[in-house]
Amino acid sequence: MDPRRNGYLIILLLVLLGGDMVKGGNVVLNVEHKYGGVRGHNLRELKAHDVRRHGRMLAASAADFQLGGNGSPTGAALYFTKVAIGTPSKDYHVQVDTGSDLLWVNCEGCNRCPTKSKLGIEMMQYNLQASTSGKSITCEQDVCTAMFDATSSDCKVGKPCEYMVTYGDGSTTGGYFVKDNIYLDQVSGDYKTSPLQGNIAFGCSSKQSGDLGTSTNAVDGIIGFGAANMSVISQLAAAGTVRKMFAHCLDGVGGGGIFAIGQVVEPKVNSAPLLANRAHYTVTLKDIEVGGEVVNIPTSIFEWKSKGAIIDSGTTLVYLPSKAYNAMMNKLMAKQPELKTHSRDGDFDCFMYRGNVDDGFPPVTFQFTGNLSLTAYPHDYLFEVRDNEWCIGWQEATGGKDGDEIFLLGDLLLSNKLVLYDLEKKTIGWTQYDCSSNIKVKDETTGNVYTVGAHKISSASTTRAFTFFFSLISFLCFLLN
């Protein structure tokens, strides 16, 4: 996420529920940010985080996707939350990732699963035998073949439905699929919640390797919000429990924000179609403007295999193809011709500047189809690492297959905007927004519209094992996961 963000990031996840259980209800969750402020922060670590994630995203293949293989390893996503699973329920800290699909958690007896974390959380491992509502998934069950495409000849009747995910840096996670209860917080009024129970299939990790097994910033697993059949949102939508749409609003100024699944009625957003048959949420990019002037970039860069631009809230910075990066940087730095830049940590162009960066540098706008645009102001793409020393967040795409041809847009662009993913209409949209405020969501059963507010985790008060409540006068309501 944006390295300028101070403190922890908390995101409230709201789920609008439909179906027989509690149709049209809303659910929320708090998500912590892994990194604090950028002053004194290791910039190389931030870049390495994105490079690892970029490589893993590029490594996604048909084989990986057959088993829910577009997951992000423990060290990749920058925010996490708690999810309660099983009967009796136990809490698992999982990273929330819009760039992956599968929910998986560490299993009891897991080989090389981390047992300690510097995040200050208690690590937990799922035990199928200890949950009275837990069930194993075997090869002959429809959920194995239809949802996870487990068609291997080794998958025989009565054998566990297995998965294995390999990432671009060589990290792996493998195990088997199970089904159990998951507990959500249904929004029942303005800043109010009530409990809700669902039932989903997820991965139980029995072995890990590489960064997944050694990360010091470990969590218990990953919850993906991709569009594939195995994602939590897809499973709940297929059961008629939720609408297949979600939104996030990340506060890049004070930390905090909102993450919502379901129908957001305020604010309104303009949308554009998502490119079909893509592993990640991708939209067509038309051009880039610096200070209102179009950057001279070969059109072939935008049209290459119609790849478009990947929208990924788990990536910190913005990565551009070489020709696009160089053309944009030349135009941007032409506004300050006397400025001398230097390299910091080998990856960032930095400079000394005593003035107001918003006065001295131009905004950068990405123009998409559907009259959509994303604008980064100087205070968005420049961050102060120490007194009067500023570094630039734009990065040249490197590494991985076809890495030089990819536009990867992270939180540098997505912060301070409400971003709405409508997987029913297959569109994505956004609008500039104060993510420290609130949004309004609709209960489709009653037609009522409820207010959901943002908050910081440091203000949270735990009132039950997996829920934080937030009142309009005092504090925070709700958390899923």
What positions carry a catalytic annotation? 97, 312
Q: Any idea how long the chain is?
A: 481
